[in-house]
Amino acid sequence: MGPLLALGHDWQRQRAVLRDGRSKPPPLVAAGLDVGFDPSAGRTLGMGGLAVIFGHFPPGLRELLSLARARLHLGPDQARELDPVLNARLLAMWAWLPTRHQDVYLEFDRATGVCQVWLIGPGEATEQIVAEPDDEEAAHELLAEDFLDGLVLNGSGGWGGEAGLERLIGQYGLRPLLVAAQIADFLERHGKEPHLALAAAQMRWRELSTSDERPWANLVGNEHPWTLLQLGRLALRLGLMRAARAMLSANPAAEWSPVAWFDLGQVDEALDDLPAAETAFARYAAARPGDPDAWRRLLFCRLRLNRAAIADETLRRYRAAGGTDNELAERWLGTVCRGRLRLHERTVIAAWCEARLGHALAATAAANRLVEEFGVRHGAGRIAALADALRLLVRHQGLADADADAVARVVLLALPLGADPHRGEAPPTVANCMAAATTAVADWWDWCERGGPPPRLDEPALASLARLAAG
């Protein structure tokens, strides 16, 4: 016999749509049903309300039945809010099992004490797994792994925090998903101390260390994707980039966590695979369009790829997400001054940033701030004197003081004065540096849509700066 709430009912059909969709259904949902009888229509169902139950997910079928029989273990105030559900004769519940892509559907009859359970899905197919109370223990064993997976994969609200995870591990052992949940918890609470998460990982995978990436990569294909996701995030924070990439790129990241795309983008950037990094950051931005960091990282990546044409739209999305130009200027100043960028990447970034963020650079990262950053290596006084000489040169060409400052900023940002050369590029020559600075100023001039030729930089000050940058 099938459920009282037939699979063709709107509530069941809505749940079926969620099961087949790209996003997971709410993990635990309860409904109240009242049974009636109409002489002409026979048995009827009255709908007493439908509610998502937050903060609960049972570790097994036994616990799901206990939730149903004990009025969801809700306190008096919570219970009053769910009166239409809890005061009905029948309590119906859907519990989402993500590894099966199925729902456990339960109907508990308070009048008779009978509880029946079905597996529903994918789609609208149904299979009854518990017909009578005597079958509950066998059904619990059948679904034990699936419920435990659901507890972890449906979100941290069901774990019960650090103490809850320790209890679950004490009860069920060092199961990979539970250890992965511990890793996720440590990374969330102690992000700057990844060794704590590593110690938890080594309780299950003793061969993992910071000295050899192979044991990490060997887990790919042998563990659940969500487990690999957490291990990949840990490897990233430990600086094990190739292991992190192997684990994160093996994941259907959008299914388990959009943050995986962000982490994969960071890994691809660190490994200098900028097209892959752009793809990963774009996917994260599509999943989390309200996160300004998504658009900031995507914007910087696109500029490094010399995709300035699409950068304007990316900047617009960054601003729409609440990102500020001042924050962008500060972040990029730090990256350009300390990051190991290729010379042509510096050229594009210097020109575009000054053209689009000149007001923010002038306010938060003015030329004297750049002088301070670069002066750590070359002497602030020497850099300042050369920057002043550049300003004087362009003023003599008829440029206003603000434009003279802009030229100095573009040149200083375009030259690798504060960082080592990119590992994939030979140290630049003086001629390379002078050409990069000249190109950056010309591009800035064009992007600002100024008329006439750009300022000329044929001055000994530029050659001196280029010699400093070339080492």
Other residues' Cβ atoms within 10 Å of the Cβ of residue 212: 12
Q: What pTM did the predictor assign? A: 0.83
Phi then psi dihedrals of residue 53, to 5 deg: -100, 110
**The pLDDT value given to residue 134:** 60
CA-wise closest residue to 56 among 140, 145, 147, 191: 147
Q: How confident is the model at residue 131 (pLDDT cuts 50, 70, 90)?
A: very low
Does some domain include residue 341? yes
Number of structural domains the chain divides into: 3
8 Å CB contact between 272 and 424: yes
- Are 116 and 241 part of one and the same domain? no
- Sign (positive/negative) of CA torsion 143, 146, 152, 153? negative
- Are 80 and 169 part of one and the same domain? no
The residue that leads in pLDDT, 214 or 369, is 214
Q: Which two tokens stand for residue 94?
A: 């859907």
Does some domain include residue 283? no
- Are 47 and 89 part of one and the same domain? yes
- Are 466 and 412 part of one and the same domain? yes
- Per the rule left: phi > 0, alpha: psi between -120 and 50, beta: everything else, 257 is beta
Q: Quick one: average pLDDT of 428-454?
A: 93
> For tokens 């500029």, what's the residue?
303
- Are 95 and 217 part of one and the same domain? no
Q: Quick one: average pLDDT of 353-369?
A: 82
Q: Quick one: average pLDDT of 230-255?
A: 87
Ordered alpha helix ranges (H), 99-159: 136-142, 144-153
CA-wise closest residue to 219 among 210, 209, 208, 211: 208
Long-range pairs for 231-234 at CB < 8 Å and ≥24 separation?
A: 231/180, 231/183, 231/201, 231/205, 232/260, 232/263, 232/264, 232/267, 233/183, 233/184, 233/187, 233/259, 233/260, 233/263, 234/183, 234/187, 234/194, 234/197, 234/198, 234/201
- Are 139 and 237 part of one and the same domain? no
Q: Quick one: average pLDDT of 272-299?
A: 95
- Are 471 and 329 part of one and the same domain? yes
Domain boundary residue among 88, 113, 143?
143
Q: Does the pLDDT value for residue 133 go beyond 60? A: no
Burial classification of residue 447, based on how many CB atoms lie within 10 Å of its CB (0-12 exposed, 13-18 middle, 19 or more buried): middle
Q: How confident is the model at residue 20 (pLDDT cuts 50, 70, 90)?
A: confident
Domain boundary residue among 248, 282, 297?
248
Q: Give 334-389 as a DSSP string.
A: HHHHHS---HHHHHHHHHHHHHHHHHHHHHHS-HHHHHHHHHHHH-HHHHHHHHHH
CA trace torsion 36, 37, 41, 45 (10° rounding): 10
Give 301's Cβ-side CA count (13 Å radius): 27
Q: Quick one: average pLDDT of 45-74?
A: 87
- Are 122 and 177 part of one and the same domain? no
Domain boundary residue among 189, 214, 248?
248
Q: Which two tokens stand for residue 120?
A: 């529903």
Q: Does the pLDDT value for residue 37 go beyond 80? A: no
Q: Quick one: average pLDDT of 52-66?
A: 87
Of 245-254, 332-341, 456-465, give the lowest mean pLDDT range: 245-254
Q: Which two tokens stand for residue 215?
A: 């044991």
Q: Express each pLDDT in 253-285 by its tens digit.
A: 545 678 889 999 999 999 999 999 999 999 999
- Are 121 and 56 part of one and the same domain? yes
**The pLDDT value given to residue 35:** 84
- Are 15 and 82 part of one and the same domain? yes
**The pLDDT value given to residue 367:** 66
Q: Quick one: average pLDDT of 63-80?
A: 84
Q: State whether residue 203 is helix, strand or coil.
A: helix
CA-wise closest residue to 224 among 196, 194, 204, 199: 204
Does some domain include residue 299? no
Ordered alpha helix ranges (H), 31-175: 61-69, 76-81, 83-86, 136-142, 144-153, 161-172
Phi then psi dihedrals of residue 340, to 5 deg: -95, 85
Does some domain include residue 347? yes
Does some domain include residue 81? yes
CA distance 208 to 210: 7
Note down the domain range covering 224. Answer: 159-248
Q: Which two tokens stand for residue 47?
A: 């709908």
Helix pair 343-364, 430-447: axis angle to 10 deg = 50
- Find out whether the peptide bond into 58 is cis, omega within 30 degrees of 0: no
Q: Express each pLDDT in 193-229 by its tens digit.
A: 999 999 999 999 999 999 999 999 999 989 998 999 9
Q: How confident is the model at residue 366 (pLDDT cuts 50, 70, 90)?
A: low
